[in-house]
């Protein structure tokens, strides 16, 4: 005869919850640091390979019109390597689905499709316009404007609550990038910047707007659409498989748009000339393009991972804090004139980036610590009531 087992004691149940939360938080921190590493690695590789591409492409020796071509190619490279993520997407185990006994309404397929189409359009827009903006106005002015817009969109779209640690982190990040932007061999000369002054500012506004908006909409899509779909359990659980799905489908849409732009603009016919102008030859030209495409995917997965686990603002802060590190790597790898190497500005920018990340990580630590403290408080209350 089987022994009757009553309901578990409340104290034991809360103790198991504490252990489960501690394990969950540990996995969460490991995932966050992993995605931060992907962003740092992706940013570094992209900037190094972009500088290598423009140095080897004899950009400074070409006529002014030629200097600003090839932007559809660069936009395509930012998205086209998404198929390498497809095997990983199917290898990862599917999340367990919960029985739908509460008649929970799942987002319709049309909502998911609309999410991917809108984000794909935004990604293709900022991929193309960022490629232009880097050549017209350089790199340094793009990133600060981007973070300011991301902060505004996070406040209004994602309802992010700003506290003193987030604000201090933003200030340190802006200061770090103001003093030390990565050197870029595609940056225009003073004469070119003056000629295209008004056009450059217009090109600056739209890509930063599209990028910042895409971060906020991606976060909204994770929370309100993907996390509630039936294939992810419909219980708001966030898993790495969501990042891969988002990246694959959004990049697919963006790739189609960039391919249309590449052929419609006639830029496809210029690829042969680009490979012939490449100083290192066609083999290195092809390898640089492949390396750029793969590096962009590393960066994108890291960015989307932080958007999923934390927020779009935090992802942008990490992306910007990578700039001083990338700037140092570029100086070590390439011989740019009038560069002070590891001068006081570069050292100050590195310190600012460290402080910015430290402030934001401290805020995240306090948030997780508060969750654990609330659960411990529940356990103490239950123990006191049992003793009474």
Residue-wise over 178-192: b if at least 16 C-beta within 10 A, else e?
A: ebbbbbbbbbbeeeb
What is the predicted pLDDT for the residue at 115? 95
Angle between helices 10-56 and 282-309 (to 10 degrees): 150
Q: In whole angstroms, what is the distance from residue 353 CA to residue 323 CA?
A: 9
What is the predicted pLDDT for the residue at 345? 77
Global pTM exceeds 0.95: no
What is the chain's mean pLDDT, rounded? Answer: 82
SS3 string of 340-356? Answer: CCCCHHHHHHHHHHHHH
Q: Among residues of the chain, what percentage have pLDDT more than 70? A: 77
Cα dist from 5 to 13, 15, 174, 305, whole Å:
15, 19, 60, 43
Cα dist from 66 to 43, 183, 186, 265, 378, whole Å:
26, 21, 12, 14, 67
**Alpha helix stretches (DSSP H) within the chain:** 10-56, 64-67, 71-77, 86-91, 109-136, 142-156, 164-179, 190-195, 197-224, 240-264, 271-277, 282-309, 312-333, 344-387
73-119 confidence digits (pLDDT tens): 999 999 999 999 999 999 988 776 655 555 556 677 899 999 999 99
With beta carbons less than 8 A apart as the criterion, state whether 255 and 76 touch: yes
């Amino acid at each position: 005869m089987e022994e009757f087992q009553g309901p578990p004691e409340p104290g034991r149940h809360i103790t198991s919850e504490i252990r489960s939360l501690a394990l969950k938080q540990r996995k969460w921190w490991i995932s966050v640091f992993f995605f931060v590493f992907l962003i740092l690695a992706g940013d570094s590789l992209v900037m190094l390979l972009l500088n290598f591409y423009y140095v080897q492409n004899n950009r400074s020796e070409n006529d002014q019109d030629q200097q600003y071509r090839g932007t559809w190619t660069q936009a395509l490279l930012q998205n086209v390597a998404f198929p390498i993520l497809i095997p990983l997407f199917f290898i990862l185990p599917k999340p367990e689905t919960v029985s739908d006994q509460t008649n929970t309404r799942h987002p319709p397929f049309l909502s998911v499709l609309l999410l991917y189409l809108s984000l794909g359009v935004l990604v293709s827009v900022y991929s193309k316009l960022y490629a232009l903006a880097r050549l017209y106005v350089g790199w340094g002015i793009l990133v600060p404007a981007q973070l300011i817009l991301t902060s505004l969109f996070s406040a209004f779209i994602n309802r992010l609550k700003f506290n003193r640690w987030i604000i201090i982190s933003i200030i340190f990040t802006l200061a770090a990038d103001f003093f030390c932007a990565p050197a870029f061999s595609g940056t225009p000369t003073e004469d070119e910047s003056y000629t295209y002054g008004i056009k450059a500012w217009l090109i600056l506004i739209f890509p930063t707007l599209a990028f910042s908006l895409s971060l906020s909409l991606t976060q909204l899509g994770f929370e309100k659409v993907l996390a509630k779909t039936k294939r992810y359990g419909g219980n708001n659980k966030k898993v790495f498989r969501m990042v891969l799905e988002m990246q694959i489908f959004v990049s697919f849409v963006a790739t189609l748009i960039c391919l249309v732009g590449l052929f419609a603009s006639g830029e496809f016919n210029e690829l042969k000339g680009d490979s012939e102008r490449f100083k290192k030859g066609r083999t290195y030209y092809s390898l640089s393009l492949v390396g750029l495409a793969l590096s962009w995917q590393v960066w994108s997965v890291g960015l989307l991972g932080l958007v999923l686990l934390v927020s779009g603002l935090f992802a942008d802060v990490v992306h910007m804090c990578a700039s001083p590190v990338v700037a140092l790597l570029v100086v070590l790898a390439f011989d740019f004139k009038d560069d002070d190497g590891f001068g006081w500005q570069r050292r100050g920018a590195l310190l600012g980036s460290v402080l910015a990340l430290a402030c934001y990580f401290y805020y995240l630590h306090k948030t997780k610590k508060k969750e654990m403290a609330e659960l411990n408080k529940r356990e103490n209350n239950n123990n006191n009531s049992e003793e009474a």
